[in-house]
Amino acid sequence: MAGGAAVLPEHGQLRNHGNDGNDGNDGNDGNDGNDGNHRNHDNERNHSNHRNHDNDRNHSNHRNQEPTGPDGTTRESTDMADDGFISLDGVEKVFEVRRRAGLLRRERHEVRAVDGISFRVARGEMVGYIGPNGAGKSTTIKMLTGILTPSGGRLRVAGIDPSRERTRLAHRIGVVFGQRTTLWWDLPLRDSYRLMHRMYRIPERRYRENLDRCVELLDLEKLLEVPVRQLSLGQRMRGDIAAALLHDPEVLYLDEPTIGLDVVSKAKVRRFLKELNAERGTTVLLTTHDLTDIEQLCGRVMVIDHGRLMYDGSLTGLHEVGESERMLVVDLESELPPIRLESADGGGQPAVRAVKVEGPRQWLAFPAAASAAPLVARIAADYPLVDLSVREPDIEAVIARMYESTP
Amino acid sequence: MAEPVAVRADGGEREPAGFAFEDRPRMLEGVRAYGLIMAMWVRSTMAYRASFAMTLFGDFAVTAFDFVTILLMFTHVDALGGYSLPEIALLYGLSATAFGVCDLLLGSMDRVGGRVRDGTLDTLLVRPVPVLAQVAADRFALRRLGRITQGLLVLGYALVTLDIAWTPLKMLMLPMTVIGGAAIFGAIFIAGAAFQFVAQDASEVQNSFTYGGTTLLQYPPTVFAKDLVRGVTFVVPLAFASWLPALYVLGREYPVDLPRWVAFLSPLVAAGACGLAGLAWRAGLRSYRSTGS
């Protein structure tokens, strides 16, 4: 992966730092629409689907409720700039770390937490942002919310420079930090929400609608009078998500939204986010360690490591890039030596690799991109097959392998 | 392409949300946000009235011990540093009331360092109101009225027992001192909080100036070394929160040679201190946002 990007037209692309030619684009405000040429077909398709859905919903529902609302005009005008609803061009964040080295002398060294990241997210997209600890995920989110000021590059969210107009942007974004709550620790949920209502100047009716909706979908009814500190992690997370959505944000950032949650809570949160994105067209950007989040929610995934964007594309594409393998688990009638299948095109590589044999059960690895059906047919023809199942690859391993393959 | 961007940049009327963002003066926004958060804490406190009454009395009693200490001293001596009990009560009452007002309004400022350390400051930065207002109003504790109450009581005692030839200027001096003094203490609170962005455990340094400062001001300047008096006059202008105005009212000489009209500079000094503290706060917040720690 040295040199230029290895572009995979169907599923996504590998990226190298600074190769997309946008880095020097700083002074060129309002030029967002032209930067979409590196986007692949796969994503394009996703966007239009989302957008249609979103608009339909708006016509039938939102606009009827609020006949005087300015929704229509804005949507049209921003639709043109959709490609760059969130746009980053060569964004950097450098921290200077000082370490004591001797009595008075201090050693300085730079930590490049985010090292030249460029991407576009369209309105209504749901994007997963993954990478190992310390890769720069949270730093990116903090820059996108205006908490941190980038050291370099250009960054826009809904046309706003987050670090310069932080409070203005705050009205249009919702933020959920998985590790800490934005609610008031000692107060009941309802009080926190009431305060948000006033603080964001949310019109009464809209507030009540949004609150009712969140209470219903996130199952908060019984929790409203409970002080936040008494909530379980899953309950608190649901409370936090509701708090982030009361003011109808156009973008929702979630930093590890399912961290530490049990299976039921995770499922609730995921279902809610899915519906939110589908019905309201809210753009969602989430960082996570739980790849099931990505699998179930995100049509697009970005992988970041050492502050650089390593991959941007679909999840299937990630498997290809990571050379991941699927696992065929077969149960034979009796204990047999490991199954060997010659490659279909007669090449040297066998089509499957026996990973493990345990009595009559065998685990056979084959490339994730290959089709399982012909393999199954050939095994069934040659061996006494009783039962079989196909296991999807472990994406964590995929990503780990990707990191290994890059210098 | 440039047009929609321009439209969005120049005003709120096309914001997609029905409740458009309008550019409002930050100062007013801050005060409003402060009021909202404060009201919420007061409401939540008042949910448990008995508990509130007890903590209120507790605050009153604990702070009143300071004055009890002084009373005990006066059972053995007739004067402290050349000052009688009512005179010291005036110093005490002015500084305790001023500090009480400030402590009520900004008493949570020393939690900034902790918020920086545990990262909860980030959650304040994503809300559409000034961070300073959110930090200041956080855990607004109405029980701190106890400190103000005891300050006012001691001040009342001083005014009743002191034999002062009141002039309009002297009468004006009292409210001016309380307000100016509260503002000076407030500036120290804010500057101290700003310093906590850099050194997260610095809240004790700040406390030594605020809680320590108010104790200092409760005694007459004559009992302290002159260098210390100069320090709290010219460096950290605490003297303007009680000594200088009180000594003017009492018609006493200030140990550091200053013209008498300097006592009237209290509001100006307070405004200056607040301005500097505001700049320090902004610098602190900016450094946090560029370093993230």
pLDDT grade, residue A317 (50/70/90)?
Answer: confident
Task: Assess A60–B contact: CB distance below 8 Å, yes or no.
Answer: no
3-state secondary structure of A115: strand
- Compute the nearest-CA separation of B272 from chain A (Å): 27
User: Are B125 and A180 within 8 A, CB to CB?
Assistant: no
Supply the pLDDT for residue B211: 86
| B15 DSSP β-pair partners | none
Greater confidence, A203 or A326?
Answer: A203
Q: How far is A208 from chain B (nearest CA, A)?
A: 14
Of A46 and B38, which is predicted with more confidence? B38
Residue-wise pLDDT for A213-272, tens only, equals 999 999 999 999 999 989 998 899 999 999 999 999 999 999 988 888 888 888 988 999
Distance CA B150, CA B156 (A): 10
Closest A-chain CA to B119 = A180
Q: Is the pLDDT of residue A321 over 90?
A: no
**What pLDDT does B8 receive?**
37
Closest chain A residue to the Cα of B16, Cα to Cα: A71
Q: What is each CA distance from A18 to A120, A130, A311, B26, B252, in whole angstroms?
A: 14, 19, 13, 38, 73
Mean pLDDT of A105-133: 88
Residues of chain A in contact with residue B125, where contact means CB-CB under 8 angstroms, are: 145-147, 166
Of A66, A170, A195, the CB nearest to B36: A195
Residue B53 confidence (pLDDT): 94
Domain extents for chain B?
Answer: 25-291
Question: What's the rounded mean pLDDT across residues A296-308?
Answer: 89
Chain B residues close to A81, C-beta within 8 Å: 1, 4-5
Is A282 in the B-facing interface, judged by CB distances under 8 Å? no
Instruction: Write down the pLDDT at residue A265.
Output: 86
The beta-carbon neighbor of A167 closest among B3, B18, B129 is B129
Q: How far is B41 from chain A (nearest CA, A)?
A: 8
**pLDDT the model gives residue A60:** 37
**Is residue A142 pLDDT above 90, yes or no?**
yes
Q: Please determine, for residue A69, whether its predicted confidence score (pLDDT) is greater than 50.
A: no
Hey, are the CB atoms on B292 and A146 less than 8 Å from each other? no
Q: What is the mean pLDDT of chain A?
A: 77
pLDDT at A401: 72
Q: Which of B276, B274, B266 is nearest to B239 (CA)?
A: B266
pLDDT at A44 over 90: no
Residue A296 has pLDDT above 90, yes or no: no
- Kindly determine whether residue A70 and residue B15, on different chains, have CB atoms separated by under 8 Å: yes
Residue of A nearest to B20 (CA): A171
Cβ–Cβ below 8 Å for A195 and B16:
no
- The minimal CB distance from A199 to the residues B14, B36, B118 is found for B36
> Considering CB atoms only, which of A32, A147, A187 is closest to B122?
A147
- The answer to whether B126 contacts A170, with C-beta atoms less than 8 Å apart, is yes
A142 vs B contacts (CB less than 8 Å): 122, 292
CB-based contacts of B97, cutoff 8 Å, min separation 6: B148, B151, B152, B155, B178, B181
Q: How far is B55 from chain A (nearest CA, A)?
A: 17
Amino acid at A160: I
Does A111 lie at the interface with B, CB-CB under 8 angstroms?
A: no
What is the pLDDT at residue A344?
62
The residue ranges of chain B whose pLDDT is under 70 are 1-22, 292-293
Q: Which residue has the tokens 């020097």?
A: A24
Bridge partner list, A155:
A88
pLDDT at A203: 94
- Tell me what pLDDT residue A83 has: 57
Q: Is the Cβ pair B1, A32 closer than 8 Å?
A: yes
CA atoms within 13 A on the CB side of A58: 21
Q: For residue A37, with 0-12 CB atoms within 10 Å meaning exposed, 13-18 middle and 19 or more buried, which class applies?
A: exposed
DSSP secondary structure, B194-205, as one string: HHHHHSTTTHHH
Mean pLDDT of A104-108: 73
Contacting A with CB below 8 Å, chain B residues are 1-9, 13-21, 23, 29, 33, 36-37, 40, 43-44, 118-120, 122-123, 125-130, 139, 286, 289-293
> Residue B197 CA to chain centroid, in angstroms?
19
Would an 8 Å CB–CB cutoff place A73 in contact with chain B? yes
pLDDT of residue A382: 86
Burial class (CB in 10 A: 0-12, 13-18, 19+), B251: exposed
Contact predicate B200/B233, CB 8 Å = no
**Interface predicted TM-score of the whole assembly (ipTM), two decimals:** 0.81
Q: Which residue has the higher pLDDT, A252 or A3?
A: A252
* pLDDT value of residue A11: 44
Query: How many residue pairs from chains A and B have C-beta atoms closer than 8 A?
Result: 139
**Yes or no, beta carbons of A180 and B129 under 8 Å apart:** no
Q: What pLDDT was estimated at residue A64?
A: 37
Beta bridge partners of A175: A253
pLDDT: is A399 or A363 the higher one?
A: A363
* pLDDT at position A208: 95
State pLDDT tens for residues A328-386: 899 999 888 888 877 766 555 677 888 888 888 998 888 877 788 888 888 888 889 99
pLDDT of A295 reads 83
The model's confidence at residue A403, banded by pLDDT at 50, 70 and 90, is: low
Residues A297 and A292: their CA atoms lie apart, in Å, by: 8
A-chain residue closest to B131, CA distance: A167
